[in-house]
Amino acid sequence: MRFVRVVAAAAVAAFVGFAGAAHAGSHGDPAKGKKVYNKCKACHSLTQEKNKVGPHLVGIVGRKVGSVEGFKYSKALKKAGEEGMVWTEENLAAWLKAPKKFLPGNRMAFAGLRKEDQIRDVIAYMKNPN
């Protein structure tokens, strides 16, 4: 019986350690994200409220989809915003992974990021580009 308790305690400790490590790595590294963002900066400004080929991304996390003044959005993005969609970290992650799959009908030419760590990193940088 004691052996079972020791094994169970070890399993719980291992799980808690693994979950803590997974959670710690889930926030992303803004410094690495800045490098990933180089793929975005030709079309999007992150530090100035100035639209380019794409809308500016200043304050993107928490912003309603399709809501930047003066930018002509696709019907798909306009409709998503009108229906209340917000750029949460989860929505941004799905968008950055595969924009055409996340929201069919959008005009963004970017195919997406394949690596989950790059997605986390660029979102961390987008949240705080300074």
Domains observed in the chain: 29-127 (1.10.760.10)
> In this predicted model, which residue has the larger pLDDT, 122 or 9?
122
26-60: string of b/e by CB count within 10 Å (b at 16+)? eebbbebbbebbeebeeebbbeeeebeebbbbbeb
How confident is the model over 14-71, as pLDDT tens digits? 333 333 333 334 689 999 999 999 999 999 999 999 999 999 999 999 999 999 999 9
> In this predicted model, which residue has the larger pLDDT, 81 or 5?
81
| Structure confidence at residue 11 (pLDDT) | 39
